[in-house]
Structure 1
């Protein structure tokens, strides 16, 4: 039982770490997307 509890705790910790990494990457991608849209808007005719 203890081994299973420990394994679950480890997996939950790894999942939280992975989720945080993905969120950080998503934020960076959103920022890049915004910057590219702004650049594109400067070159597109209205």
Structure 2
């Protein structure tokens, strides 16, 4: 759920691409222990 909310927020954001990428990175760094499935999906994309 949190990942979906982040994706929607990033999608709607008008921030520059590096800022959005940094936000996504920070999110997954903070929550990596409870999001192993989502992180595994990122490595297959």
Q: Does the TM-score normalized on the shorter chain lie above 0.5?
A: no
TM-score (normalised: structure 1):
0.37
More relative contact order in 1 or in 2 (CA 8 Å, sep 6+)?
2
Structure number with greater Rg is 1
Query: TM-score if structure 2 supplies the norm length?
Result: 0.38
Q: Which has the higher helix share?
A: 1
